[in-house]
A and B are shown apart, each in its own frame.
Chain A
Amino acid sequence: MVNILSILTMNMISPINIIAVSLGIAFFMGLLGNKAQRTSYILLIAALLFNTIVSLQWLYGLANNLVEAQQIFTAGYKPPFSINLLMGLNEAVIASLINIVGLLGAIYMGSTLKKNGSGSQVVFLVLFMSLNVIVLSRDLFNIFVFLEVGSIAVAGLVILQKGVKAVSAGFKYMLATGIIAGIFLIGIIFIYRFTGSLNLDQIIQSNPAIKQGALISSFLILIAIILELKPFPANGWALDVYQAAHPGLSAILSSAVGTANLYVLYKFTGMAGDSLMHYISLIGIVTFVGSNLLGINQKKARRLLGYSSVGQIGLLIAIMGLLPHSNSNFKLIFFGILTSHYFAKAGLFWISGIIKAENIKEWSVLRKKPVLLFLFLSFILALLGFPPFPSFWGKWQLVMELSAQGQFAVIIAILVGSFFEVVYLMRWAGYSIKLEAGTLPEIKLSKYIPVILFGLGLYAVGYFVSQSVEFGNTINYLPLLVVAVLLVVDFLPAFVKNSLSILATGWFAYLLIPGQDTIKFIFTIIFLVGGILTLIPGFQIKGKREGFYPSAMLMFGGLALLIEASNLLQFFFAWEIMTIGSYFLIIRGKKSMPHALSYMLFSVGGAYLILLGFGMVSAGNSGLSLDLLSSIKVYPVLAMSLMAVGFMTKTASLGLHIWLPGAHGEAESDVSPMVSAILLKAGVFGLILLMLASGGEQNSYSGLFYVLGWIGALTALVGNLGAIFQEDAKRLLAYSSIGQLGYILFAFAIMTHMGWLTGLTYTINHFMFKAILFLAIGGIVMKLGTHNMYEMGGLIKKMPFSFIAVLIGIITLAGIPPLSGFGGKWLFYNAVIMKGWYFQGAVVFFAGTIAFLYLFKLIYSVFLGQLKDNHRNVKELSIWFLLPQYILIIGIMVFSAKPDLILKPIGNAIAMAFPSNQLTWEGTKALSTLGYWDATTIMVVIGGMFVVLLGWLMFMSRKAQKVEQFNMVYAAERPERPELTHVSHNIYAGYNKALGFLVAPGITNFWNYTTNLVESTGNFIRRIYSGNGQSYAIHLVSYIVIVFIIYLTAI
C-alpha cells in the first residue's frame, strides 16, 4: 500500500488540474443537457473524486516530505502580473477536507442532484472548484472572484430544497453576501492602491499595518471575510440557510465552506498586524459565547446545528486571533477543533436529512437504528470536546497555551461558551436516548455511508491528533478498546457481555494492583472490585441490555485510568471518559432524562473548573506531571480552589449537590450502587490527590481547607436532613450519599493524621454499606415496581436475607458499635477535638444523629410494619443481588473486627504527609492522644453479651407462640387493611415543623433562577433574528460600523 502511494507521489498531479478538470467537466456537463442525468452525475462524482485524489496525494507527499510545496504561476508570469497558487501542507490538508466532504456530499445528495438535472450538478461542481481556488490562491482579487462564485453557487443550490422557506433563506443569503462582497471589493481596490499589488505575499511583505490608509483597507478585507464566517450577531441570514437548505448543502456549508473561509482568514491574518488580531480574537469569542447562548432554547434541529456551527467557527476565529501562528501548537489546536467541527457538523446535518425530524424531540427515532444513534452521540460528544475526539486534544492544548500566556479571562469566556453548548447538545442527546421513538423513514445506502465514514474519520483523526499532542502518547487506550469490543458485540445476550465486562474489570484490577501505594490500592479496590460486585446483579437481567455494557466499561475504564494517571492530561482524559460513561449509565433509568442532564451539566462545569485549574498548574511549570500540583506557580490558592470545587461537583457537596438525588434515585437498580458507592469516590480521589499535593500538614492553603471543612459539615447536615423527608426509598439513599460525602469531605479537610484516617475509613465504609443498601433497596424497588416506601412494608417475612443485609448496612452507617462505622465515628471525634473544629464537628455530629431518622424510616417502612396485600407473593431477591451484598458484609465484618489490618497500612501511607499525632497501636488497641479503642475486644464483649442475653430470653420465652399479621392490641378492633396501620408517610411531620426550614429548596431555587436567567437572556437576544432579510442586512452594516468605531477609538 505504502509502495503504491509512494509511486503515486513520484508523479504529482498539479493542483491546477483541480480547476482545469472541474471547469472542463462542468462545461461538458452543461453541454450534455438535462436528459443525461446519470452520465452527468457520474461525471460529477468522477471530477470530485479526482479533486480528492489530487489533494490527498499532495497531502501524503507533503506530510511525508516526499515533495516540496509548489507555487504555480498562471500564464507564465510572476506576480503581480499573474495569479499564483500555492500548494503547501496547510493547503493540502484543507483542500483534502473540502474535497472529501464534496465527494461524500455529492453521494449523499445523489438523488436530489439527479432529479434536478445536470444544471444543479454543474453548480455543485463549480462550488467545490471555487472552494479549492480560494484555498490555493495567493491573489486577493482571485479569491474575491471565487468567493463570489462560491456564494452564487450556494445561492443556486439552496433552491434545490422545495418550498418558500428555502427560497426566502436563499434570498437573504444573497443580500448579505452581496453587501459583504462590496465591502471586500472596496478593501481590495484600496489595498492595491496602497501596496501596488494583489499578491498576498507581496502585500504582507509591504507590511500594510504601518500605513493608515492601508490599515483601513486591510480592516475592510478582514471584516468582510469575517462576516463571511457569520459572526454573532450579524448572522441571521446564515442561520436561515442552515435551517432551510437541503441538509446535504447545510453540511457542505458548515464543514466545507466554513473550512475554506477560515483558511482564507488564516491567509489574510498575515496583513493584519497585532492590533487587528486582538479584535479578531474578540469577535471570535463573542461569537462563540453569544451563539451558544442563543442556541440554548432552540428546538429546531437544523437551526440548532446552525447556532452550533456559528459558535464553533467563532471559536476557531478566536484561536486564530489568540495564538501567534508561529506557536508550535497552533496548528494542532486549530486542526483538532476544526476537524471535530468538520466531521461532526457534516455528520449531524446528514443525519438530520436521513431521519427527517425537525424538532429535536423527534430525534428519538434514532434509537431504531443503533448505529445511527451511536454516530449521533459520537458527533455530539466530539463537538463538546470530549475524549477521544480531536477537539478534546485541541481544547486541552488551547487551555494550556492560553494559561502559559496568562490569558485566564479568555479561557473562562471560552469555557462559558462551551458550557452553553453542552446545555443544548446534551439536552438533545438526552431526548434522542429517552423520548418515545417515532418511525424511521427508509434509509438509502448512499445517505448512510457518508455518515458512517465521517464517524470513523472522527475517531481516526482523534487518535492521530492525540499522538501529536504533548504527552498524548502516554494515554492508555486499552479501556477504550474494551468498550469498542463491547460495542461490536452489543447484539449478544446480556449475560455474555456481563461476563466479559467482569473479566475486563478484573483484568484492569490485575494490571493496576501490583506496585500500587496504599491509598491508590484502596481506590483500586473500591473502583474495580466494587465494579465487579456491582456488575454481578446484571446477570439477572434478561435480553440484550443494549448499550449498558459499553457505558459501564467506559465508566470503570475511566476510573481505572484515573488511578493510573501520572500526568494532568491522563487524569483529565480519564475524568472525562468516566463522566461520559456514567452519564450514559445514569440516563438509562426510566425517568432519568432531566436528572442525567443536570448530572452532566454539573460534571462538565466541574471538569471545566478542573481544566482551568490544570491550566494554572501547568503555567510557569514545565511538563504536565501530577507532581506539579504541589508546585503551583500561578495563583496557587485560586487554582487549588477551582480544582477542589471541580472535584466537589462529583462528590455533590453543598451547592453542587442538587443533581444527585434524581440521578442516583432514578437510575436503574444496579446502576445506583455503581454511581453512589463507587463513582462518587472519584471526586474523593481527586480531592485526595489535591490535598496530598498541597503539602499535607504543612500546607499553605489552610483558609481553603477551613472553608472546605465547613462546606463538608453543612453538606452532611443538608444531605441527611433532605433524606429524612423523602418517601422514595432510592432518593432517601441518594440524599444519604450527599450527607456521607459531606462527612468525607469534612474529614479530609481537617488535614491531620486523624482526619485522614477518618476520611479513608468513611470512604471505605461508605463504599461497602452504600453498595449493600442500594443493591438491596434497588432490587426490592425493581421487584415491587414502586419507589415509595409507604407502599412497601412487612417485607422481612418475605426477604429475610435482604433484611439482614440492610440491617448491617444501617448499623454500619449509623456508626453503632461494634461494626466498622463506629471506627469512623471514634476517629472523627479524635480528629475534630485535636484539630479544634468543635462547631463544625458538632454540626457533623448533629447530621449523624439525623441519619438515625432516615435509617429507621428506611428499614421500618420497607421491611417492618405491615405487609401489603399485593406483596404477599413476593419472593426473596435473586442470588445475583444477594451475592455481592454478602461479600460486602464479609468485608464489613473483617473491617469491624480487625480494623488494624487496614488502618495500620493507611496510617503508614499517610505518615509522610501527616507525621504528627499519629494513631498508635497496641495489638488490636488503637491509641490516640485523647482516647483508645479496641475494636476486637468490643466485638468480643458485645458479641458474648448478646449471645448470653439472647440465650436467656430464648430460654425464658421458649413457649412463645407465633401470631398472624393483625394480631395486636388495636383499640379493641382488628385493623382490616395493612395500609391502615402502616405508619410511614410523612412520619417526621413534627420534625419538619420544627426544623424543616433548613431544607427549604434555596439552592435548587438558586440554580433554577440562574438557568432561567440564562435561558431568557438567550431568548431575548434571539429576537433580533426577526426573519426579515433586510434587518439582517442592517445588522451586517451596523456590525461593520460598530467594529470600525471601536477599532478607531482604540488605535
Chain B
Amino acid sequence: METIALITAFALILIGLFGILSNKNILKIIIGFSLFDTGLHVLIVTVGYIKGGTAPILDKVVGTSNAADKIVDPIPQALVLTAIVIGLGVTALMLAYALKLYQAKKSLNITDFKELKW
C-alpha cells in the first residue's frame, strides 16, 4: 500500500516535471504543474501514513488516550491542505499569466516569448 502510493507519487511528480520541461504549450505546462503538485501532495500524505491508522480526528473510537496508536500522523495531513491551497494559488496566477501572454501575442507557445535574453 505504502509502496504503491510512493511509486504513484513519484511517477506523478516525474510525469508532471516531464510535462513542464517538454511541452511548448503554456497551458500544457500549467497542467504539468498541476500533476507535479498532485504528486507532491500524494507524497506528503504517504510519508505521514502509519500502517492501520485512521483519520486523525478525535471521536468515540479514537480518544485522547489512545490517539497516538490509532491515527496516522496528523501533521502531514495539515501540511497537505496548505500545500493544496498554495498550489491552487500558483495555478490560478499562472493561468492569469497565460491569459495575459495570449492577449499580448495571440500565441500560447512558450518559445514565442523570448524578447529578453543574454
Contacts and interface: CB of A to CB of B under 8 A. Distances in A.
Determine direct contact between A and B, CB below 8 Å: yes
8 contacts: A149-B86, A155-B93, A182-B13, A189-B44, A193-B47, A1027-B116, A1030-B111, A1034-B21
Contact of A1030 (B89, B98, B110, B117): B110
B76 interface: yes
Given A179-B17, A179-B20, A164 B114 contact: no
Contact of B115 (A145, A165, A198, A1023): A165
Across chains A and B, which 10 residue pairs bring their CB atoms closest together, nearest first? A1027-B114, A1027-B117, A168-B113, A164-B104, A240-B116, A171-B97, A167-B100, A1022-B118, A148-B86, A193-B47
A1026 B116 CA distance: 8
A189 B79 contact: yes
A200 to B, nearest CB: 15
B114 A1028 contact: yes
Contact of A171 (B21, B47, B83, B113): B113
Given A159-B97, A186-B13, 9 more contacts: A155-B97, A168-B114, A170-B97, A179-B20, A181-B90, A186-B40, A198-B75, A1029-B113, A1030-B20
Nearest to A163: B104
Nearest to B36: A182
Nearest to B37: A182
Nearest to A240: B116
Contacts of A167: 97, 100-101, 104, 113
Interface string B16-40: 0100110010100100010011001
B65 to A, nearest CB: 18
Given A165-B115, A182-B40, A156 B79 contact: no
Nearest to B46: A189
B72 interface: no
A616 to B, nearest CB: 39
Contacts of A236: 117
B15 interface: no
B71 interface: no
Interface in A910-969: none
A164 B105 contact: yes
Given A179-B17, A243-B116, A148 B75 contact: no
Contacts of A178: 20, 33, 36, 90, 94
B8 interface: no
Nearest to B16: A182
A174 B117 contact: no
Interface string A213-249: 0000000000000000000000010011001100000
Contacts of A182: 13, 17, 36-37, 40
A165 B114 contact: no
A120 to B, nearest CB: 14
B44 to A, nearest CB: 5
Interface string B75-102: 1100100110010011001100110110
A165 B116 contact: yes
A897 interface: no
Given A179-B17, A198-B75, A1028-B110, A164 B47 contact: no
A239 B86 CA distance: 25
A543 to B, nearest CB: 43
Contacts of A1034: 21
A178 B16 CA distance: 12
Nearest to A237: B116
A660 interface: no
Nearest to B45: A189
B93 A168 contact: no
B116 A192 contact: no
Nearest to A193: B47
Contacts of B24: 1030
B2 to A, nearest CB: 12
Contact of A185 (B21, B44, B100, B115): B44
A1025 interface: yes
A175 interface: yes
A189 B47 contact: yes
A723 to B, nearest CB: 43
A610 interface: no
A554 interface: no
B109 to A, nearest CB: 10
A141 interface: yes
Question: What's the interface size class on A, roughly?
Answer: 35 or more
A1033 B115 contact: no
Contacts of B86: 145, 148-149, 152, 181
A80 B93 CA distance: 32
Contacts of B90: 148, 152, 174, 178, 181
Contacts of B114: 168, 1026-1028
B20 A175 contact: yes
A855 to B, nearest CB: 51
A190 interface: yes
Contacts of B21: 1030, 1033-1034, 1037
Given A167-B101, A193-B47, A1037 B118 contact: no
B16 to A, nearest CB: 8
A1033 B111 CA distance: 13
Contact of A156 (B29, B36, B83, B93): B93
A1027 B26 contact: no
A243 to B, nearest CB: 6
Nearest to A173: B97
Given A168-B116, A182-B37, A1028-B114, A174 B97 contact: yes
Interface string A139-157: 0010001001100100110
A1026 B20 contact: no
Nearest to B26: A171
A182 B17 CA distance: 10
A674 to B, nearest CB: 41
Given A244-B116, A1037-B17, A168 B101 contact: yes
Given A165-B115, A1022-B118, A1027-B113, A152 B104 contact: no
Nearest to A145: B82
A1025 B104 contact: no
Which of the listed residues B13, B24, B104, B115 has the most CB atoms from chain A within 10 Å of its own CB?
A: B115
Contacts of A179: 17, 20, 36
Interface in A998-1025: 1022-1023, 1025
Given A171-B26, A192-B75, A1028-B114, A1033 B101 contact: no
A169 interface: yes
A344 B22 CA distance: 39
Given A152-B89, A159-B100, A1023 B40 contact: no
Contacts of A198: 75
B116 A169 contact: yes
A178 B95 CA distance: 13
B47 to A, nearest CB: 5
A1023 B37 CA distance: 31
B17 A1023 contact: no
Contacts of A1028: 110-111, 113-114
A298 B118 CA distance: 8
Which of the listed residues A141, A156, A171, A240 has the most CB atoms from chain B within 10 Å of its own CB?
A: A171
Contacts of B33: 178
B51 to A, nearest CB: 14
A251 B89 CA distance: 25
Nearest to A197: B75
Given A182-B36, A1026-B117, A164 B101 contact: yes
Contacts of B97: 155, 159, 167, 170-171, 174
Interface string B48-79: 00000000000000000000000000011001
A1037 B19 CA distance: 13
A223 to B, nearest CB: 15
B104 to A, nearest CB: 4
Contact of B43 (A164, A189, A1023): A189
Contacts of A186: 13, 40, 43
Nearest to B33: A178
Contacts of A1029: 110, 113
A1025 B17 CA distance: 20
